[in-house]
Structure 1
Amino acid sequence: MKAKNTGDQHVPKSSPIPIGSGSGMAWVSSGKIIVRNPQEGASKATITTCKEIQLLINSLPVSDSVEVSQEDHLETIPLSYTDQGFIKVQLSPDRMSAFLEIKNECLKSYELIDCPPSTNLVLQARQTKQRIFRETKDTIINLLNQNHISFGIDLQALEDIITQQLEGLLLVAQGLAPGETIDDDVELLFEHKIDSDLSNALDTIDFKEMHSIPSVNAGETLAQKIIGKEGTPGTTVTNQIYKAREAKRITLLAGPGVEIVDNGLRAIANIEGLPRVQKSHNNWTISVDPVLNLSGDVDVKTGNIRFKGNVNIMGSVETDMNVSASGNITISNIVTRCKITAGGNVTIKGNIVNSEIISGGFIVICNAIKPLLSELLKTLEDLLISANLMLEKLPTNNKILFGNILMLLIEKKFTNFGTIIDKVSKKLKEVDLKLLGTYGTLLEKALVNLTGINILNFKSSLEYQALLTDLNNFYYYIESQVTSRSEIHIKVALNSVIKSSGDVIVTGGCFNTHILAEGSVHIDGIVRGGIIQAHDDIFIQQIGSEMGTKSVVIGSKDKKIKINQAFDGVTIKIGNMSRIIDRTMKNIVVLLDEDGYLQINSF
């Protein structure tokens, strides 16, 4: 760009020149520099250039402030440069999508900004940008072909890129997706109800854990395998075959009471009982377990129920009666002032009044005795080492019994041995050892042999080591079981205690009841009074009352509490943070934020 000044004819009559000023003036109008000479004896105007504009006066460049007159020949040369663009082809890892990464070429230049008349004009400039798009549809298609992209090119997308001069990462070709692959499946042909969230989380479907316990007859078909198939191949943007994923295959395996027939396609029952399905990777093991079915009530006529397996009670459990089972317990009617302990799950379809319900009872026992058993085993092992060392120092023909050496060491060195035995014995009296099966008998026998003068009955080190081996085997067994989880399904509970090693599901309501769950709690009804506590998430339909019934909800710090309606006076606690609801709130989610503060949000 160039601007010239050759005399007064370049001075517009409307130019805003200060009245009464005799000094020379210079200004910028429509991108041109205009100069007016001073009156006689006055000073000329000066011009100071800027870094974006090169100023030539009479063909000579200037860099500092300089005097000018109308007779001077002025030229301006703006600074300009080009940002180079590029166009690249990008392929998705599966070669099913192709993209153009485009950055357009950009010409950047400057132009003078209009300035009012001044005796010392300081030039100012603004930047201008001009995008340059050099690609055509043919050049883009050639570029794609050079990168072996020939299938699924979107011509409309190319047209939009050219006409709109688009840039960025732009999709220009899409392959043909393969057909859907159908995995093997298993159709279960007996009556069942599955909690889909539970089956996905645990990778195990156990029909002893549902609201109703199904049963099957001998010869009945339990499951039918449906063979899947692989989907049709697709095509990549590079015009190559894209195979569909392989179908996941399932193998039917026979557990106890089941036979697999028809070349692995059908599972049939060999006995009557409870069907069970366990998934492990691609293997489905179908089995049938025996069940204790009681058609009436549990009362003084039946006595307390102790059963190694599952129990199905069609009636009620009456006052002061106890029911325990190593498996699952299902009760169809009410439970009043009694204790129900299941090694597995508990389902009670009637009301619960003044009772204690425990699921995962075996796990509860294991968690209770594991620390004490660990301490006892450590002491017994140290005692064995010390006894063997003492035995080595005795003459080979000595007739001292191993039990005498043990008793001496207990009196002189292991003085806390009796205290440990007492603690273990006391803890075992608090639990139902029948839930431990043969291990319960083993523990009782071991404690008898280790108590008081009975320890003198060990004739040799081998007898003592055999007892220690049995206890170690039991310890390793319970260590493998403590992570198992159970469930409790109930309708209504009043003035009761509910404990579960897993989840608690309530369909009706809880009144002055304490629920303690190692898993989650889900209450579809009302909570009036009591404590609801869980290690996982908690959901409650309604809690508290307009009368301000004291109700407490306790959650874990990394979990959340969801309540559809909470009345004022309800206490909510997560971790070390707690809050009392001071007004009725609906549809709330309570959790700790990243800073550990209690947050109550709407959902």
Structure 2
Amino acid sequence: MKVTDSGSYSQISQNDDTSPPSPPPEFGDGMAWVSGGKIFVRNPAEGAKKATLTPCKEIQIYINGLPMTSRIEVCQEDVIEVKPLSHTTQGHIKILISPDKMSAFLDIKKACISSYQLVDCPPTNNLLLVAEEKKDFVFNETYETLIDILKKNNVTYGINSIAIRSIIKNQPEGMLLVAKGLQPGVTLDDSIEPIYEKRKITDNQDLAETIDFKELYNIPSVTTGDVLVRKMPGKEGSPGITVTNTACKAKAPKVISLLSGLGVKITDNGLEAIATSNGLPHVKLANTKCIISIDPILNLPSDVNLETGNIRFNGHVSIKGSVENEMNVSASGNITIAKIVTGCQITAGGDVTIKGNIVNSDITGGGFIVICNTIKPLLYELLEAMEDLFILANLMLEKLETKKLIIFGCILMSLIEKRFPNFYNLIDRITHTFKEVDLKLLGTYGEILQKAVAKLTGINILQFHTASEYQSLLTSLTNFSYYIESLLTSHSVVNINIALNSVIKSSGNVIVSSGCFNTHIIAKGSVTVNGIVRGGIIQAQDNVFIKQIGSERGTKSIVMVAEGKRIKINQAFDGVTVQIGNCSRTIDRPMQNLLIAPDEDGFLQFFNF
């Protein structure tokens, strides 16, 4: 038998040491088998069947020089030639660049040579040839050739040498990152910073102290001249470099324009929004527009209670519900309350209108003026003391040789201890008065006053390093005193329905619709009660009109007006005391349509009208 593998022929004899093993003798039929990639055949016994071969497509078989295409009988004398087929799949190396040209990749697919060889089969009469595939991958690139490929594709920046050497060493396939550009710097867009904030704990609330739950919420409100919003202009990032070594511009910053709404003006440089009125600020950011406005009225649709906290607002306040026990409402403008007020303090810079009943409460209209009148004498006393201190301290400073080394505050403290023993007592009285009034109604002047008193308290005086620092504070307080004088002529109106066991104050007039009981009314203007007065005191700087005062049981009621003013009463019971200037008189019997005025001698007379 002659057998050829891959085009070579070899003679196998029975006596050859390399002869393949013979099939078992009990088989009489011809046999064919595969061993080591070669086909072997044994002839059949006489009269038995010959062996057959069935080809496979991966191996080309030649029988006696003729290609085998189908099943065929073979014998031991045939020359069988085995020619395995092979084919090569071409590989590739592609350069892929990201759309932003910031990354470059090598897409590697290695060439593959596929070859086949026969699978060993045991002796059988009908041999079905089976081939197995063998693959060999080829990658012949070097570091230099890969760099050259990148350069030919314009990739010259940010090449990762370590990554390329790793490719040469490990010969991986797939998409591999080999170059990264320099990203542009981060672009900062225009940003908006609200200067006001809604805070849960007020600035002066020390967390270590007992928390007043009525003061946990602070409704943001502003006064004229306050900066509402500040714009920080954006900045374009530094340019980057692509893998093709071209400049890459950073993203342009988003530009936001400040637009003024009601009660707001924008500065000429477009960077700040300034309040032109008091009220509740609103900021609406829509894409590239920031609209800032001020609502002069704070509208509260429900009650004022622990849930809302105390209300302190620069502007007008309108409350649709009630004000519950021990809550405070203060506003620099007008206050309107639709329902009852119980055990509260209501202070308005302007008018007050309360449509419901008032019980055990303090109501103040024209609070700014009331506060000014309260602190005015203390302020003038402080200014006088500060001016004297300033003069004496400067005289002492002039006598000192080393003036530059002397802290002005040291001189002040020395003078206070020796020449002004009551100075600290005055500061204590002012501090106590501040706690009794709502300085928020004074706006920025309230802050100036608090800071001034703080600087004049105890060792804080040492913070005045120079005379000019002390003089600056003195000037600020003097300007505030002038401001007070300019506003003391303004008047407010307090308009209420019913008051019980309350105190009503107004820098102007007070109007009572139904009545007041055991209530103290203090008005810089006139008082009009279109109902009943039972007990209490009514004090007015102007005329007073009362529909009915006193009671049949002789409830003690007092009406007081300034000299030269008049008191008119539709119905008065005995026991009512009336006073005009320093003259007073008690009504000793029920009277109607009563006009009370002094006669030429200054004695009070009762007239009918």
For 1:471, the equivalent position in structure 2 comes to: 477
- For 2:417 and 2:513, the matched residues in 1 are separated by 58
Q: Which residue pairs with 2:134 in the alignment?
A: none
Aligned equivalent of 1:395: 401
Q: Where does residue 427 of structure 1 map in the other structure?
A: 433
Aligned partner of 2:351 among 337, 345, 348: 345
Distance in 1 of aligned mates of 2:420 and 2:500? 49
Of 528, 535, 543, the match for 2:541: 535
Displacement of 1:397 in angstroms is: 6.3
CA shift in 2, pair 1:587/1:324, >3 Å: same
Q: Partner of 1:375 in structure 2?
A: 381
- Among 499, 521, 526, which residue is 2:532 paired with? 526
One-letter amino acid matched to 1:348: I
| Per-residue deviation, 1:351 | 0.8
Decide which of 556, 563, 566 is 2:562's aligned counterpart: 556
Matched, 1:405 2:419: no
> SS at the partner of 1:350?
strand
1:228-267 matches, within 5 Å, as: none
The answer to whether the aligner puts 1:325 opposite 2:331 as a matched pair is yes
Which residue matches 2:309?
A: 303
SS in 2 for 1:341: strand
Give the 5 Å matches for 1:155-304: 290-304=296-310
Of 587, 590, 593, the residue aligned with 2:593 is: 587
Q: Does 1:455 align with 2:455?
A: no
After TM superposition, give the deviation of residue 393 of structure 1 in Å: 2.1
- Aligned 1:23-172 pairs, distance under 5 A: none
Structure 1 gap segments, 5+ residues each: 1-255, 260-269, 275-287
Matched residue SS, 1:506: strand
Residue 415 of structure 1: CA displacement? 2.6
Task: Tell me the secondary structure at the aligned position of residue 429 of structure 1.
Answer: helix
Q: Deviation at 1:513?
A: 1.3
CA contact (8 A) 2:279 2:316 kept: no
**Alpha-carbon distance, 1:350 to partner:** 0.7
Structure 2: tracts of 5 or more residues without a match: 1-261, 266-275, 281-293
Q: 1:395, 1:568 → 2: CA distance?
A: 77
Decide whether aligned partners of structure 1 residues 591 and 258 sit closer, same or farther in structure 2, where only a CA change above 3 A counts.
Answer: farther
Cα drift, residue 446 of structure 1: 0.9
**Does residue 1:443 correspond to 2:444, yes or no?**
no
Q: Determine the structure 2 residue equivalent to 1:334.
A: 340
Q: Deviations over 1:100-135 (max 9, x none)?
A: xxxxxxxxxxxxxxxxxxxxxxxxxxxxxxxxxxxx
Q: Partners of 1:298 and 1:466 in 2: how far apart?
A: 41
Q: What letter corresponds to residue 442 of structure 1 in structure 2? A: I
Matched, 1:499 2:505: yes
1:578 equivalent to 2:575? Answer no
Match of 1:202 in 2: none
3-state SS of the aligned residue for 2:405?
coil
Distance in 1, matches of 2:412 and 2:586, equals 59
Q: How many residues of Structure 1 are paired with residues of Structure 2 in the alignment? A: 326
What CA deviation, in whole Å up to 9, does each residue of 1:306-347 have, x standing for no partner? 011111111110111110111111101111111111111100
Distance of 1:382 and 1:474 partners within structure 2:
19
Cα displacement string for residues 219-259 of structure 1 (whole angstroms, at most 9, x for unaligned residues) = xxxxxxxxxxxxxxxxxxxxxxxxxxxxxxxxxxxxx8599
Change (3 A) 1:397 1:481: closer
Alpha-carbon distance in structure 2 between the residues aligned to 1:488 and 1:417: 38
SS in 2 for 1:296: coil
Distance 2:403 2:324 in 1: 64
Whole-Å separation in 2 of the counterparts to 1:289 and 1:484: 24
Offset at residue 582 of structure 1 (A): 2.3
AA matched with 2:523: A
Shift of 1:580: 2.2
Measure the CA separation in 1 of the matches of 2:568 and 2:456: 51
SS state at 1:297 partner: coil
Superposed displacement of residue 545, structure 1:
1.9
Distance 2:314 2:603 in 1: 47
Task: Name the structure 2 match of 1:222.
Answer: none
In structure 1, the residue matched to 2:286 is none
**What per-residue deviation string (whole Å, max 9, x for no partner) do you get for residues 411-448 of structure 1?**
22233322222222222222111111111111111111
CA gap of 1:474–1:258, structure 2 versus 1, over 3 A, is: closer
Letter in 1 for 2:345: K
Distance 1:381 1:588, change over 3 A: same
Letter in 2 for 1:311: V
Q: Aligned partner of 2:394: which letter? A: N
| Residue 462 of structure 1, CA deviation | 1.4
**Residues in 1 aligned to 2:382 and 2:563: alpha-carbon distance in whole angstroms:** 34
Amino acid aligned to 2:328 = N
- Contact 1:557–1:592 (Cα < 8 Å) also in 2: no
Residue 568 of structure 1: how far off its partner (Å): 2.1
Q: Which moved more, 1:547-556 or 1:522-531?
A: 547-556
CA contact (8 A) 2:409 2:465 kept: yes
**Is the CA contact (8 Å cut-off) linking 2:279 and 2:315 kept in structure 1?**
no
Partners of 2:278 and 2:314 within 8 A in 1 = no
Aligned partners of 1:409 and 1:549: how far apart in 2? 56
> Is the Cα contact below 8 Å between 2:305 and 2:327 reproduced in 1?
yes
> In the alignment, what sits opposite 2:153?
none
TM-score by length of 2: 0.51
SS of aligned partner of 2:565: coil
Q: Distance in 1 between matches of 2:320 and 2:403?
A: 67
SS in 2 for 1:439: helix
Instruction: State the 1:482 CA deviation.
Output: 1.8
Shift of 1:577: 2.5
Alpha-carbon offset, residue 289 of structure 1: 6.8
Does residue 358 (structure 1) correspond to residue 364 (structure 2)? The answer is yes
RMSD: 2.4
The amino acid across from 2:514 in the alignment is G
SS in 2 for 1:363: helix
- Is the CA contact (8 Å cut-off) linking 1:502 and 1:517 kept in structure 2? yes
Q: Secondary structure of 1:358's match? A: strand
Contact 2:348 2:368 in 1 (8 A): yes
Give the Å deviation of 1:498.
0.8
Are the counterparts in 1 of residues 279 and 298 from structure 2 also a CA contact under 8 Å?
A: no
> How far does residue 273 in structure 1 lie from its aligned partner after superposition?
9.1
Q: Secondary structure at the match of 2:601?
A: coil
Q: Is the 8 A contact 1:295 1:315 kept in 2?
A: yes
How much does 1:552 deviate? 1.8
- 1:586 counterpart letter in structure 2: Q
Structure 1 runs (4+) greater than 4 angstroms displaced: 256-259, 270-274
The answer on whether the counterparts of 1:557 and 1:591 sit within 8 Å (CA) in structure 2 is: no
Measure how far apart 1:555 and its partner are. 2.0
CA distance in 2, matches of 1:528, 1:475: 40
- What do residues 364-400 of structure 1 show as CA deviations (whole Å, max 9, x unaligned)? 1111111111111111112112222222222356412
Larger radius of gyration: 2
Identity over aligned pairs, percent: 66
Contact 2:397 2:403 in 1 (8 A): no
8 A contact 1:541–1:564 mirrored in 2: yes
Report the residue type matching 2:453 in the other structure.
L
